[in-house]
Structure 1
Amino acid sequence: MKKDESMTSAGSGGIEISRRAFVKSSLAAGAVLGSGLSLSAFTPLKKASAQTGTQTGQWLPAACQGCTSWCAKQVYVIDGRAVKVRGNPHSKVNGGASCPRAHMALQQLYDPDRIKVPMKRTNPEKGRDQDPKFVPVSWDEALDMMADRIMELRKKGESHKYMLMRGRYTYMRDILYGSMTKLIGSPNNISHSAICAEGEKFGPYYTEGFWGYRQYDVENTRYILLWGADPLAANRQVSYYSKAWGTTLDQAKVAIVEPRLSATAAKADEWIPAKPGYDGALAVAMAHVILTEGLWYKDFVGDFKDGENRFIEGREVDEDLFAEKHSHGVVRWWNLALKDKTPQWAEKISGVEAAQIRRVAVEFAEAAPRAISWLGGGPVMQVRGGYASMACHALNGLVGACDNLGGTMVSNKEYTSGFPGYDQYLDDIAKKGTQHEKIDQRGRLEFPCLKKGKSGGGVITNRAADGIADEDPYEIKMAIAYMNNFNFSAPHGQRWDKALSKIPFLVHITTNASEFSWFADLVLPDTHHMFEKWGYLKSTGNGYRHVPLLQPIIDMPFDFKIDETEIPFLLGKKLAERGFDNLHRYHVEQFADPETGKSPEDEKQFSEYATKIATRDLWDPKRYKGGDKINGWEEFKKIGVWNSDPYPYRARWGKMKTETGKFEFYSQTLKTALENHAKKHDTNMDHVLEVCKYEARGELAFVPHHEEPYVHGDPEEYPLLFVDHKARLNREGRSANCSWYYELKDLDPGDVNYQDAAKFNPRDAAALGIEKGDKIKIISPVGEIECTTTLWEGVRPGCVAKCYGQGHWAYGSRAAEVFGKKPRGGNNNYILPADYDRLSGASAYYSTTRVKIVKL
């Protein structure tokens, strides 16, 4: 191809294609390219008002998915163009508050590197060194290709070799992720959850029976103890906490355990830079202090029958002498794991002085029950993180903070509903196909994944790469994935390059071409969540639960399709043309408009009707069940959010969803789960724990306790511990093509604008001969990355801290230095080994590897 006949198209994510072919296919797909060859994603603005010299617009409701806060927003729209974002004042969760990430959605929406039309691979060879040679195709052709592949698998009795991979989702997910996958006949719907926060959910579930994200009553608390959580930058409900934190600091003390000075640590009363991986040790030492000092919250836990405190260092206690109220096993926990775990013991292994441990524990307990032990990903997304998760959360039980004013809370009740059942549409092929083992190998002996107590109940996302690459338990022949980029976001992401290269037909639905897209056979242009799609979300905070509505509020400049609704509907029609009409009949027969009874005639009607069905109990006054009273669908669209009733404090006391109904310091719930998993594999629990890399044996396995961190790399060869962290501007790793991401990088303490900087304590830098601005390689046992250096006292000596988010080699013109070839900065996940907290299924990101430094 001659140089003047080719182009690096923003619509193809920077992949070289024929200019003539691009224009032709774009027009066929209904895309508007302005002057014909313009690559701008912007649509023309109308002329300003002659009277005012300005354009008039309106604030329209939306929702942000730049992180898992899922805030309700409003967007200022002028002539179909989004120009400004603010918090939705109708939300009782985040109110009018907004964090920086929400504003960056505008740059994502109008990113000229967005995928604009479907793109088809023409190079049959797959690999990072292989140019996919994408060419534009129409939606009709793309859907035909997908339908043909699905029918081929079904005809061969191989429907289980189809796979669906989910990244960022709305609660419309089950249409694509659930029912479509099952109706085709596959068990393989694989979510991203285990690379998100499953370890964080483990501790609360096996103590108080709640598998999910907690909310925290920061406006009424008197003490906050954070464990690897950074609510002002990268935790859940950043908007709300950023708004409320000033008041919180006026009335509460804040202490944070974190090996780096995070945004929250910078504003805390006390920063505790413990050695990575020793949060559990500090937590059990604090529990020891609370019990020996007699500071536990007796209205919740109970007391010794004669009122005499028998929790004395080194001594066992007779369980019969203690009368528990709403907890179970506190004395057994003491006898098994706490009696010898003094602050002096913890000091020796954690690097935190015993006096500080004791003082923090006493101050925390004296604030009871208005005290919060706030669990983040740092202590728990580790190889042995499950028990740290239990240990940190157990402090909430000791001080009676669970469901209490100023404490930690679960989710308020909400009234959305699932989608209509599809069992009647399952044919024999589908029923047989769904019985196969899942490709991520969950539930095997070494991968219990004990979500909600069930062996194999959870996902182990990153393990799917090994299942695909090794064809274990079988080969994957077709896969559809949406809004994910596992090559970039999962530890040792290079493994996904190998896995995806083996899939004969891979479809990626996304807004921007990415590392995952590089291996796809079809790349389909997705809608942006905040501005262009139907759906709804659910989130908690401030003592409420809200349900923000997503809806199309702008003029889409190109023919994007909604991943979870429009594409399944259109694909169902294509399959019906080929003789398999089950999916299409399900959509048409079961998704009638709740108001008119009309069946959907096209994908746009289907998307809106499905959203109305799922949220009907929120907006239909005839079906009102609680929370905000909304008078009809049109009013719901106008307001854009429904709010629950206020949180019912103490309602769960004595009614927790554990085996005992109580807060379990001795987890009968975990004991049953482990016993069932061991029985499933005809072995014993100690063997299960051994193959899963835990230290606990016997009864110790059922109580919160400290386990030595399992870290990859010989300390002699790899002298530094690597600390991965998230940033204020990281929209889940999708910010790297936004200019604001680089211009405002120093919003994160210690970071440097326009650089991907690894942060070293000056003491370590001097020993290594490193100066600020040096180009380096960071090398671990599994990979290496290149970046620059900066010196900062906010990193604990012996560690190197680096923010996740840069290192893309295929995302856009800003994200990569040379698209498809050379990354801009380094991706932390390329040096993190693929390991897991196997009880929860969570990928290990923290306290997982040692590294060494080489100057360039």
Structure 2
Amino acid sequence: MKLSRRSFIQVSAVASVTAFLLSGCKKDPEVLETTKPGEVQPLVEGEWKPSGCLGCTSWCAKQVYIVDGRAIKIKANDESKIHGGNDCPRAHLAVQQVYDADRIKQPMKRTNPKKGRDEDPMFVPISWDEAMDTLADKIMELRTNNETHKFMLLRGRYTNITDLFYSSMPKIIGSPNNISHSSICAEAEKFGPYYTQGYWNYRDYDVQNTKYMICWGVDPLCSNRQVSHYLNVFGELLKKGVKIVTIDPKYSSTAAKSHVWMPVIPGQDGALATAMAHVILAEGLWSREFVGDFTDGNNAFISGKNVKEETFEEIHTHGVVKWWNLELKDRTPEWAEAICGVDAATIRNVAIEFAKAAPYSMVFMGGGSNMQVRGAYNSMAVHALNGLVGCIDHEGGVLTGRSAKLNSLPGPDDFMDEMAKTNSKNKKMDQRGTKQFPALKEGKPGSGVITNRVADAILAEDPYLPKVVIGYFCNFNYSCPGTDRWDKAMSKIEFFAHCVTHYSEMSHFADLLLPSTHHMFEQMASAAQKANSYTHLWITQRLIEPVYDVKNPESEVLWMLAEKLEQRGFSNLLDFCKTVKDPETGSEPTNGLEFELYAYKTLTQSIWDPTKYTELENHGDKFNSWNEFIQKGVWNSDPYKFKGLWSKMKTETTKFEFYSETLKKALQEHADKHNTDVDDILATCKYTGKGEQAFIPHYEPPYMEGKVEQYPFAYIDSKSRLAREGRSANCSWFQEFKDADPGDIKWSDCIKMNPKDAIELGLKDGDKVKVTSPTGEIVTTLKLWEGLRPGTVQKNYGQGHWAMGHVAAEDFEKKLSRGGNSNVIIPADYERLSGATAYYGSFRVKIERA
């Protein structure tokens, strides 16, 4: 039968009854009758089984309560040393997700060849066999025509075996195009730490031993990494007298628990950071142990005056005097006050208190300060404060963490034929490495991803037009700024297969829908993360039988596709898959589930196999067998060893670089590639800095779309407390508890404004308003909230779906969204040195009654 959007709703309505029954459990009526108000009803007899959550990049270890084969409850896995006790609320929504009647229940194919938001795809159910035949035929067409580079794989969330599907499969087919979501997540946040200390990753923060904590452009009690951990320890910090400061233009959940709130003007973080650095040096409060000192012991960092470099002897840092002379000497708090909106006295007091508490202090940096058009140098300036006071790699400070001890999975090289070797050298679709997009990941020009640029590349057919695309756990038509670009781009794709749990805005443009397992319950999965000076790796088995006819993209779909390609004479991918053998028996996999199991056993063998243990330090938890490891469900590293990186950093000088020789080398390499100079590269990337400024943390005025005369309000895009990366809006719990975000409305959407601004516009609380940016408009409800600095408006990301399901949408059949999607009005711009999408401090809007 054909399944239109209308019949899809009707089928879902019937299935919702089944889902309710599936999610139920046996209850004792007598227990229900005798339970008194306020008492906790005892759980029905079941079993807690280890699992983990990929609902955000906290990647917490969890346990799931299973009763009669059904998942009914989730809690933290107490075996993890990086969090415990209470849980982040996001994880609990996973129970609704897995039993959601709006999930894609079996493979489906498009029967309407026209693509567009207003087109009904007219999906019809098909078998997995037919679906994989179709996909294999499309790939073989590319090989027949020597066009394998026109295959593209788009990745959202993933697990530890991602390399098999994401990295190796495209290369074996013969394509360079594996494009991840990373640059719409946090790449600018990683830029500063890399080009000062050589670390391109998320940091750990030893909050339990700190004395002073600055949360800058981050809300750890609501979003970012290890929310569960920070929810558990924040109360202890306050009891111990830890001073907490939040720098954010909105009064966030963390700001509400802070001693000081510094409502910086959006985009002006660099002015505030350089002013604080000025104070620390001018007041003589830098770390002598880490940075060094003047040879005569007298502080020559005097406002407005240059310092002779030879008079200062550095120890574990490089270029502090150059930084002062080139940038900091004139960056007084009084200079910054008029620019960043924070009074000079507060800037000075916070900088002094922070430095005096050091090295047991930290600046906890998030994306708010740097995922801006000119955010790379903000990232460096904010992180450099940690270097000045010596809290890098120090107890109570900022740590790098460590990677879990994992084995490598087989690589693709031995399975790439001549066509694959040749075509995989073509340019990637995201235009990384072009003059205007350096994407300087880990010091290598063109090595970073520029996810949101793919839509423009498709539309321009530059470097070419992909023909066959697979996407998994991604919804770029919703999650990337400039959503209309993605709608137009995906309409041009000849064949698109989408592997997801739920129908989504991106699914609407698919030719094949391949229903996916839910990572927490229906498949084997693992992920590693750091916090509390530890790293953990959690692992889970299939805890319940899949609710619908769904498959794991990274293992089962890969295996089935490999089999279909072999039947068509291309055995390379299946031969590759068969090299993933059971490390205990040496057996080759014979199906997708065995392939999945053997991949995880191989990957984690150095954790669970005593014969593979070494005498090296930091092995962490030890197990006697695979079964023992899988039953416990989590591995913990040894405790962090402090100061191990001092003068051993992965920078050009091996030291913490205030004058970044590492960035200088990378920028020069990119400039040489394009036959120009560094000044031209910076100008092309919309920066104003010139000369030696290019290599130091420095103030850049924010690049804002929209003139203030026409668009008077700076727009603040924020994370929701319950948003599982934009995928939880079809959960009724998400909608019912939406007001957990201060000022938000249950089962609705809103934009918040300071009451002073509303009075001037003649608007009142509850008005329907039109929000217009230079690139788009949405309609939503106005809420008045004093937790915003005047001149700004703020909206939480997560609503505005028109295709996620009948709960997420106001009217799923008519494609009417519940409120507005922020990405409709966010301009598609970038922090080009890192490749990150610009979400913050980058555009203005006007508000008027709808």
TM tier, smaller: over 0.9
Counterpart-to-counterpart distance in 2, 1:190 and 1:345: 42
SS at match of 1:372: strand
CA contact (8 A) 2:23 2:99 kept: no
2:287 aligned with 1:294: no
- Shift in Å at residue 715 of structure 1? 1.1
Query: Which residue of the partner structure matches residue 851 of structure 1?
Result: 845
Counterpart-to-counterpart distance in 2, 1:609 and 1:527: 18
Query: Which residue of the partner structure matches residue 586 of structure 2?
Result: 597
Query: Which residue of the partner structure matches residue 750 of structure 2?
Result: 757
1:491-513 Cα offsets, whole Å, 9 max, x none, are 11211001100000000000000
Query: Normalization by structure 1: what TM-score?
Result: 0.95
- Shift in Å at residue 792 of structure 1? 0.7
| 1:221-260 matches, cutoff 5 A | 221-250=210-239, 251-260=241-250
| 1:450-489 matches, cutoff 5 A | 450-489=440-479
Counterpart-to-counterpart distance in 1, 2:249 and 2:259: 16
- Shift in Å at residue 755 of structure 1? 2.3
CA contact (8 A) 2:13 2:101 kept: no
Counterpart-to-counterpart distance in 2, 1:6 and 1:425: 40
Query: Which residue of the partner structure matches residue 637 of structure 1?
Result: 630
| 1:75-90 matches, cutoff 5 A | 75-90=64-79
* Cα separation, partners in 2 of 1:35 and 1:307, compared to 1, 3 Å: closer
* 2:110 paired residue among 121, 140, 148: 121
Counterpart-to-counterpart distance in 1, 2:269 and 2:453: 26
State the one-letter code of the partner of 2:508: W
| 1:164-563 matches, cutoff 5 A | 164-250=153-239, 251-563=241-553
SS at match of 1:576: helix
- Shift in Å at residue 557 of structure 1? 2.1
* Cα separation, partners in 2 of 1:357 and 1:784, compared to 1, 3 Å: same
Query: Which residue of the partner structure matches residue 795 of structure 1?
Result: 788
2:94 aligned with 1:100: no
CA contact (8 A) 2:98 2:547 kept: no
SS at match of 2:553: coil
Query: Which residue of the partner structure matches residue 574 of structure 2?
Result: 584
CA contact (8 A) 1:41 1:557 kept: no
* Cα separation, partners in 2 of 1:413 and 1:487, compared to 1, 3 Å: closer
| 1:670-749 matches, cutoff 5 A | 670-749=663-742
CA contact (8 A) 1:42 1:110 kept: no
Query: Which residue of the partner structure matches residue 39 of structure 2?
Result: none
CA contact (8 A) 1:61 1:640 kept: yes
Counterpart-to-counterpart distance in 2, 1:791 and 1:740: 24
- Shift in Å at residue 652 of structure 1? 0.4
CA contact (8 A) 2:25 2:70 kept: no
SS at match of 2:153: strand
- Shift in Å at residue 288 of structure 1? 0.2
* Cα separation, partners in 2 of 1:513 and 1:413, compared to 1, 3 Å: closer
- Shift in Å at residue 566 of structure 1? 0.9
Counterpart-to-counterpart distance in 2, 1:139 and 1:6: 17
* Cα separation, partners in 2 of 1:306 and 1:56, compared to 1, 3 Å: same
| 1:15-26 matches, cutoff 5 A | 16=7
**What is the RMSD computed on CA atoms of the aligned residues?**
1.8
CA contact (8 A) 2:3 2:125 kept: no
1:159-193 Cα offsets, whole Å, 9 max, x none, are 00000000011121111111111000000000000
Query: Which residue of the partner structure matches residue 832 of structure 2?
Result: 838
Counterpart-to-counterpart distance in 2, 1:748 and 1:43: 31
Report how many aligned residue pairs link the two structures.
Answer: 834
- Shift in Å at residue 41 of structure 1? 7.1
2:595 aligned with 1:606: yes
- Shift in Å at residue 752 of structure 1? 2.5
Counterpart-to-counterpart distance in 2, 1:476 and 1:822: 30
* Cα separation, partners in 2 of 1:388 and 1:634, compared to 1, 3 Å: same
Query: Which residue of the partner structure matches residue 66 of structure 1?
Result: 55
Query: Which residue of the partner structure matches residue 651 of structure 1?
Result: 644
State the one-letter code of the partner of 1:604: L
1:566-619 Cα offsets, whole Å, 9 max, x none, are 11111000000000000001111x111011111101111001110111111111
1:457-485 Cα offsets, whole Å, 9 max, x none, are 10000001111111100111010000000
Query: Normalization by structure 2: what TM-score?
Result: 0.96
CA contact (8 A) 2:73 2:92 kept: yes
- Shift in Å at residue 749 of structure 1? 2.1
SS at match of 2:22: coil
Counterpart-to-counterpart distance in 1, 2:98 and 2:129: 24
* Cα separation, partners in 2 of 1:34 and 1:200, compared to 1, 3 Å: closer
* Cα separation, partners in 2 of 1:773 and 1:682, compared to 1, 3 Å: same
- Shift in Å at residue 146 of structure 1? 0.3
Query: Which residue of the partner structure matches residue 819 of structure 2?
Result: 825
2:123 aligned with 1:134: yes
State the one-letter code of the partner of 1:230: D
Counterpart-to-counterpart distance in 2, 1:551 and 1:47: 24
CA contact (8 A) 1:440 1:464 kept: yes
Query: Which residue of the partner structure matches residue 40 of structure 2?
Result: none
CA contact (8 A) 1:620 1:630 kept: yes
1:705-738 Cα offsets, whole Å, 9 max, x none, are 1100000001111111111000110100111111
Counterpart-to-counterpart distance in 2, 1:818 and 1:49: 38
CA contact (8 A) 2:198 2:650 kept: yes
CA contact (8 A) 1:262 1:748 kept: no
- Shift in Å at residue 411 of structure 1? 1.8
2:25 aligned with 1:40: no
State the one-letter code of the partner of 2:471: A
- Shift in Å at residue 424 of structure 1? 1.3
CA contact (8 A) 1:6 1:17 kept: no
Which structure 2 residue ranges, 5 or more long, are not aligned? Answer: 33-42
* Worse overlay, 767-776 or 574-583: 767-776
1:187-242 Cα offsets, whole Å, 9 max, x none, are 00000000000000000000000000001011010111111100000121000000
Query: Which residue of the partner structure matches residue 766 of structure 1?
Result: 759
Counterpart-to-counterpart distance in 1, 2:154 and 2:382: 32
SS at match of 2:367: coil
CA contact (8 A) 1:16 1:133 kept: no
CA contact (8 A) 1:286 1:361 kept: yes
Counterpart-to-counterpart distance in 2, 1:18 and 1:828: 26
* Cα separation, partners in 2 of 1:154 and 1:42, compared to 1, 3 Å: farther
Counterpart-to-counterpart distance in 2, 1:781 and 1:50: 59
- Shift in Å at residue 535 of structure 1? 2.4
SS at match of 1:564: helix
1:320-341 Cα offsets, whole Å, 9 max, x none, are 0001010000000000010000
Counterpart-to-counterpart distance in 1, 2:385 and 2:195: 13
- Shift in Å at residue 15 of structure 1? 5.2
CA contact (8 A) 2:828 2:837 kept: yes
* Cα separation, partners in 2 of 1:99 and 1:607, compared to 1, 3 Å: same
CA contact (8 A) 1:442 1:459 kept: yes
* Cα separation, partners in 2 of 1:37 and 1:511, compared to 1, 3 Å: closer
SS at match of 1:77: strand
- Shift in Å at residue 16 of structure 1? 3.1
- Shift in Å at residue 45 of structure 1? 6.1
Q: Aligned residues: percent identity?
A: 55
Counterpart-to-counterpart distance in 2, 1:363 and 1:37: 56
Counterpart-to-counterpart distance in 2, 1:261 and 1:449: 32
SS at match of 1:571: helix
